[in-house]
Each structure stands twice: as structure tokens, then as C-alpha cells.
Amino acid sequence: LRRNPGEPEFHQAVREVFESLEVIQGKYPVYNDHDILMRMCEPERQIIFRVPWVDDKGAVQINRGFRVEYNSALGPYKGGLRFHRSVNLGIVKFLGFEQIFKNSLTGLPIGGGKGGSDFDPHGRSDGEVMRFCQSFMTELHRHMGEYTDVPAGDIGVGAREIGYLFGQYKRLTNRYEAGVLTGKGLDWGGSLVRKEATGYGAAIFADEMLRARGSSFEGRRVAVSGSGNVALYAIEKTHQLGGVPITASDSTGYVVDEDGIDLELLKQIKEVERGRIHEYAERRGGSARFVKGGSVWDVPAAIAIPSATQNELDVDAARTLVSNGLEAVSEGANMPCTREAIEVFREAGVSFGPGKAANAGGVATSALEMQQNASRDTWSFEHTEERLTQIMKNIHSTCLETAEEVGRPGDYVVGANVAGFRKVADAMIAFGVI
């Protein structure tokens, strides 16, 4: 804590991993001998840079850019870029730290990293977003490479931003290095299913957890927060698996639709028009209503898939959900539930899938995009989705089996942390003290 002052989200993420690893303390002295955990907490490299750009009025704007290259024991640094006004070094470090274990759980050869900027794309024109992305990449490109560091999207960074970033990378390096960024458009090196992958994966993980407790999605009410990339496709897969997604939200409030969310309408408003969530209720009519402010978790549901941002589901929300008969939580976002909320779920016997396991489908499919780029190939939707489904099922069973092995049956948090940690730790030991 003393080494990293003023970074509460980072402390929260590290504390959770340390607590989980207490169950294996003493069992593997080799990890203590090599001081692995302390080494893992320290990023291999942290880059902070100025991002100057000119807005539509001709005024100079200055943002701050970050890339934390956290751990490359299993492969090149891999993790998204977040553009949101709340971004600071502590947030990027928490996300990068989580990414190490998540990427390890996928079983694919990728290390952990994360980056972003305090740039807020809301209300900015296409031209402004382009100029910002070009300036951001003008610094970041020297740290990237398909064998070095491979960024992707996250909050505020979708296909449009990845396009501007890739265009500038290509221009600066004079190389068509497709595998240097993931989440690319389908015409220029992107992978089918990448857009859907995180949300699909979170719903598949929920499905696996429900099956493990002898339950299912069939006809059950599902509360989803957010209305961005992850939320939209968690809603889509929930529909496909037989559940009834009834909510979506943004930072202004939430909608509840008792007939189930009309996905085509929601996609039109969010993906095509870049509109706000209240427009959904206005256009849907009858079954839907918009609640300004307030908590989406007040809506009774059997399954929750929080898919907006960190610490959006607190202890009060958790208690409300439990009293309304909640059975399972699958974290589509990164660390959306507070520590206290997770404790409430644990005590109530709710199945809880932590983000580093439940939302790993996105980065896993990014690694599949890299495989396609490396082999100059493109896979079909069906093939890629089948690989994603299998990866999510494997992550689920790895978490469950590991939790059982270390004496904490059903505890997916412990299972994910221990399984993710062991692989990285073993590789680090093999490399010596570097």
C-alpha cells in the first residue's frame, strides 16, 4: 500500500488475489522462495505520456495516456485501452493486474497489460476522436508489436477507435502488422465473434454456473447493467440460452422491460445512433420504462450480469438482489462488485463468477484474432464461436476443480485466482529472477 498510494481500485484487486492465495500458503514454498507475489504486483513497465490534440473549435486539448505492461511471462502484453474521464494510473494498474490472471485462465499464450486515457469520447465529433487517437498512437506505437504488446478495446474504445489507432500505427511504422491490435474491423484483419465475445462469454459462464447447481436460464429473469459492447451481447446470448433479459443501463439511469429487452431496438439506439438508454423506453412503449438515476439492481431477477464498470454493485444492491431470490452473478465488467457485495453473495450461497473468469471470452477471442492474423486466415462465425464456448466451459471447470482441490468447493473467486496464478508463477520461476 505504501508503494502505491492513492490507488484504491488497485489495492482492492491485489487484496482479493492475496486473500484467495492464503488457501495455498505453505503448500508451495517455492512461490515464497522466489517472492513471486511481490514480483507479480510490480508492473514490468509503466508508460505515461502527454496526448495533445486540437478540438473542432481550434483549441488545444491535453490528455494523459497510459500503458501498463504488467506481466509477459506467458506471452506478449495483452489487454484493452479505456477512454473515460475517470482513467488514472491506479485504475489502469487494477485492470492490468486482473488481466494477468484472466489471460492465464484462457490457456492461450498472452501476458497481461492495460492502458487508456482520461479522454472522454462522449459528445466529441468523429474528427475529434480521430485526432485524439492519432496523437495517442503517435506515442504508443513505439511500445507495441505483435510479439511485444497488443492492445484492444475497452470502455470508450470500440471499432471506430481501433480503426483510427490501427491506421496511425500503420502509417507511422510503414508495416501492415495486423496482429498488433485486436478488435479490428472484419475487412481489415478482425475476427468474427470478437465484438460479441465478452458478453457471450459472460452469459455462457452464467449458464455453466447454473448447470453446476442443477438450475438453468430457462424462462428466468436476468438483470444486465450497462448498454455498451459487453452488455449488448450478454443480452443477446441470454436470449439464446432461454433467459429473459429485462434491464439495461447507462450512467444516467436504467430501463426495465417486462417483456424482455428488444435487442434490435437497443442495438439501433446504442450501436448505430450512439444514443442514450432513455430513448429505448420512449421508443419501445408499453412494456418498458426508464428510471432516472437509481439502481438497476432494485429490479428482481434470478441472474445478474453486471456489465458497466468497477464497483457498480455494492453491498446494499447485493442484499436487495439476494432478498429478491438471486441465484447467480456473472461479472461481464471488470470488478463490478465490491468486496462486501461478494461476501453477501458468498453467505447467501449465490454462485458468483468473478470477472477474470466470467469475462475472459473477450480477450480469448482477441487471442484467436491474433492466431488468424498470424496464419493469414479467417475463420467462420460458427468455428470461432465454438472455440469461444469451449474456452468458457474450460475456464468454468478449471475454476470449479481448483476450488475443490484447495478445499473451497464452489468458490469461483478462489478457483480463478489460484489457477490463474499458478501458471504465471511457474513460468516466472522458470525464467529466473528477471
Q: Which residues are catalytic?
A: 114
3-state helix, strand, coil in the chain (%, to 5): 50, 15, 35
Q: Are 77 and 148 in contact (CB under 8 A)?
A: yes
- Pick 23 or 341: Cβ nearer ligand NDP: 341
Nearer to ligand NDP, 138 or 270 (CB): 270
Q: Which whole-number Å values give the CA distances from 191 to 151, 164, 283, 378, in the listed order?
A: 15, 17, 32, 7
Q: Which amino acid is at 272?
A: V
Write the binding mask 356 to 375 for ligand NDP: x where contact by CB under 6 A, - elsewhere.
Answer: ---x--x-------------
Nearer to ligand NDP, 197 or 302 (CB): 197
Min dist. Cβ of residue 332 to ligand NDP (A): 6
Instruction: Tell whether residue 334 is a contact of ligand NDP (CB under 6 A).
Output: yes
Name the region of 79 (left: φ>0; alpha: ψ -120 to 50; beta: rest). left
Q: Count residues contacting ligand NDP (CB under 6 A)? A: 21
Is residue 102 a known part of a binding site?
A: yes
**Least distance CB 272 / ligand NDP (angstroms):** 14
**According to the annotation, is 78 in a ligand binding site?**
yes
3-state secondary structure of 117: strand
* Contact string (CB under 6 A) for ligand NDP, positions 191-220, x = contact: -------x----------------------
Q: Interface residues for ligand NDP in 26-65 (CB under 6 A)?
A: none
Residue from 20, 182, 247, 307 in contact with ligand NDP (CB under 6 A): 307
Does the protein bind ligand NDP through residue 402 (CB under 6 A)? no
Rounded Cα gap, residues 227 and 340, in angstroms: 25
Of the candidates 364, 313, 371, the residue with the CA atom closest to the CA atom of residue 343: 313
Q: Map grid coordinates 439492481 to a residue.
A: 297
DSSP string, 205-273: HHHHHHHHTT---TT-EEEE---SHHHHHHHHHHHHTT-EE-EEEETTEEEEETT---HHHHHIIIIIS
Piece of 151-159, 160-168, 204-212, 406-414 that binds ligand NDP (CB under 6 A): 151-159
Per the annotation, does 99 bind a ligand? yes
Q: For ligand NDP, which residue of 43, 153, 163, 415 counts as binding (CB under 6 A)? A: 153
198 neighbors 233 (Cβ within 8 angstroms): yes
Q: HSE (CB half, 13 Å, CA atoms) of 69?
A: 19
| Binding residue (CB under 6 A) for ligand NDP from 333, 370, 403, 406 | 333
* Residues of the shown chain interacting with ligand NDP in the complex, contacts defined by CB under 6 A: 153-156, 198, 226-231, 250-251, 307-309, 332-334, 359, 362
